[in-house]
Amino acid sequence: MSRERLIILNPKAGRGRAGRQQPLIERTLRALQLPFDLERTNGPGDATRLAQQAVEAGYQQVVLIGGDGTLNEVVTGMLTAANRPTTSLGLIPIGSGNDFSRSFEGIKPDDIKGSIARLQRNQVRHIDVGRITTSDGTSTSISYMINNIGLAIDGMVAATVHDVPLLRRTAAYMAASLRALLVYRAYPMQIRFNNTKFNREFLIATITNTRWQGGGYQLTPDAKPDDGLLDLCLVDMMPIHRALMHLPKSRNGSHIKVPAVHMGQAQRVEVAFSVPTLVTSDGEVIATDARELVVEALPGVVDLVV
């Protein structure tokens, strides 16, 4: 008999909200008579290790309580587990941005009772993941993306938003964006996908699996997490005053009509940087000195409980 359910809780997620909700989560699971084991993470990499061990131990569900960064770790652990059986991924989103969960009707941030009711039904949707191969010129690493990759100022914002004190979600991302605009310096990058090739400086260069990022911005409004495609939003470098004028348009996706904005879809994207560059995946830094990057869509490799 395989084990039923492992809960992986990041107590620091959502500025500590996830940890404070643990008693309520445990009471709700017991009230619905849902068997579970629970592990708390203590630092970076813990969620990856725990998810990998859970899959290899035969758990039927791995359930994440946290934000997009911890979700990335859990997905990485599940995809790198040896002899992967069918293990579904449950999500109780309690993070700073919760951008991934916004793409699914009925999955609401901080909705503990609704999330646990979904675990009981265990209806799944097959979700894509992006596999990222990063090179600094001497070594290569593999990582994964389930929501988005940031390559320009979007990467800088994702890397620094946690340094913004007190503010939550959209307000924190807006403050981090304004600060980044003052110091960001663009360098040319070459981006190839399908039969398209760009070689220029970008203000924003993001590769996504879903519509949302940055705590509620629709940079790729047509993205679907189960269409087998990566979506791109590339924004040419522009003066600060123009950037501030167009930034609010990305709240509803109308920025795609701006001439400086280029949209695309592909199964594979190749990027070459003219200088060592910071790269983020799902809000976490995966490289500080990337020179080359390849992202490939892995269709339907995660069974998400919806």
Query: Is the separation of the CB atoms in 62 and 8 below 8 Å?
Result: yes
Residue 219 has pLDDT above 80, yes or no: yes
Q: Which domains, ranges and CATH numbers included, belong to the chain?
A: 5-122 (3.40.50.10330), 129-299 (2.60.200.40)
Query: Is the separation of the CB atoms in 53 and 74 below 8 Å?
Result: no
Q: What pLDDT digit, counting tens, does each position of 87-131 carry?
A: 999 999 998 789 999 999 889 888 999 999 999 999 999 999 999
Give the chain's mean pLDDT. 93
Nearest Cα to 282, choosing from 82, 84, 64? 64
Q: Tell me, what's the pLDDT at 215? A: 80
Between 171 and 11, the more confident residue is: 11
Residue 274 has pLDDT above 70, yes or no: yes
CA distance 261 to 267: 20
Q: What pLDDT digit, counting tens, does each position of 155-207 carry?
A: 998 888 776 666 666 677 778 888 889 899 999 999 999 999 999 999 999 99
Residue 1 has pLDDT above 80, yes or no: no
Identify the top-confidence range among 13-17, 106-110, 163-167, 256-260. Answer: 256-260
Q: Side chain identity at 284, as an amino acid letter?
A: E
Question: Which of 87-96, 127-136, 227-236 is predicted least confidently?
Answer: 87-96
Q: How confident is the model at residue 138 (pLDDT cuts 50, 70, 90)?
A: very high
Compute the C-alpha angle 147/148/150, nearest 5°. Answer: 160
Q: Tell me, what's the pLDDT at 167? A: 63
Q: What pLDDT digit, counting tens, does each position of 49-77 carry?
A: 999 999 999 999 999 999 999 999 999 99
Per DSSP bridges, beta strands 261-266 and 230-236 are: antiparallel
Q: Tell me, what's the pLDDT at 169? A: 61
CA distance 261 to 259: 5
For residue 74, what are its two tokens? 């859990």
Q: Tell me, what's the pLDDT at 286? A: 97
Residue 11 has pLDDT above 50, yes or no: yes
Q: How confident is the model at residue 300 (pLDDT cuts 50, 70, 90)?
A: very high
